[in-house]
């Protein structure tokens, strides 16, 4: 039995942890490289980017620039990241957000934990707490120069939302809230409270984990 066949057998019969991270990349690269040893390339990708997740979330141009990769191999890896996002998003879309909180955190982590820029999103919910609109507000530090509480609440009225969840990421990896994070959260909560729009939470995503400002008693 050849190396590729052995990997396939372990994948199909060995359970979730049957393959090491470099072997997962090896297997994914089989689709783009019908012949040859993909182990050295897999190990080089991990060395350059640091982890399996960072490889899969890397910029396509950065992946293609690695000797031995190219656009076809980069595409074979990026489709996996896209599939993971679609699967996680479907779990969020199909159920009320507040009763499937872990699915929401999984989706947000897959989508945002490895971003190299700070991104602000607002999840607008309907009266049954289903996701009505996932609004990408913009990229940059979260403060009133980037996000205006009145505009956030006005948007809720425009689309018929009853509540919202504020989300952003910390590219540093550490999800601990800053003073600005706490201040803007409280201002949005106050603005919404005056008009009957509930701010359920502010979730901060980092590669080291996620933090809920509500769980920390900051809302």
Six-digit token string for 209: 């984990």
Determine phi and psi for 173, rounding to 5 degrees: 100, -25
C-beta atoms surrounding 16 within 10 Å? 5
The contacts of residue 120 (CB under 8 Å, 6+ apart) are: 136, 137, 138, 139, 140, 142, 146, 147, 166, 167, 168
Model pLDDT for residues 11-47, shown as the tens digit of each residue: 778 766 778 888 888 888 887 777 778 888 999 999 9
Residue 15 has a pLDDT of 67
What's the pTM value of the predicted model, to 2 decimals? 0.70
Please check the confidence at residue 88 and state whether its pLDDT lies above 80: no
In order of start, what are the domains of the chain with their CATH numbers? 3-86 (1.10.150.20), 96-212 (3.40.140.10)
Please check the confidence at residue 185 and state whether its pLDDT lies above 60: yes
Model pLDDT for residues 93-149, shown as the tens digit of each residue: 667 777 778 888 888 888 888 888 888 999 999 999 888 888 988 877 665 556 788
Model pLDDT for residues 134-183, shown as the tens digit of each residue: 898 887 766 555 678 888 999 999 999 999 999 999 998 899 999 989 99
């Amino acid at each position: 039995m050849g190396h590729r066949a052995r990997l396939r057998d372990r994948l199909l019969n060995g359970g979730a942890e049957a393959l090491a991270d470099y072997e997962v990349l090896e297997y994914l690269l089989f689709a783009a490289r019908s012949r040859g040893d993909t182990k050295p390339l897999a190990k080089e990708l991990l060395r350059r980017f640091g982890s399996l997740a960072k490889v899969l979330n890397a910029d396509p141009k950065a992946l293609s620039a690695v000797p031995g990769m190219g656009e076809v191999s980069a595409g074979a890896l990026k489709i996996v990241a896209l599939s993971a996002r679609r699967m996680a998003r479907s779990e969020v879309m199909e159920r009320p957000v507040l009763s499937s909180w872990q699915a929401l955190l999984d989706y947000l982590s897959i989508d945002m934990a490895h971003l190299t820029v700070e991104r602000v999103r607002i999840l607008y919910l309907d009266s049954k707490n289903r996701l009505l609109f996932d609004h990408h507000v913009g990229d940059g530090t979260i403060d009133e120069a980037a996000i205006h509480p009145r505009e956030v609440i006005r948007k809720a009225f425009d689309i018929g939302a009853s509540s919202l969840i504020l989300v952003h990421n910390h590219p540093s990896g550490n999800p601990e809230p800053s003073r600005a994070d706490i201040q803007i959260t409280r201002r949005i909560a106050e603005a919404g409270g005056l008009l009957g729009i509930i701010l359920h939470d502010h979730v901060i995503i980092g590669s080291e984990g996620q933090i809920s400002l509500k769980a920390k008693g900051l809302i």
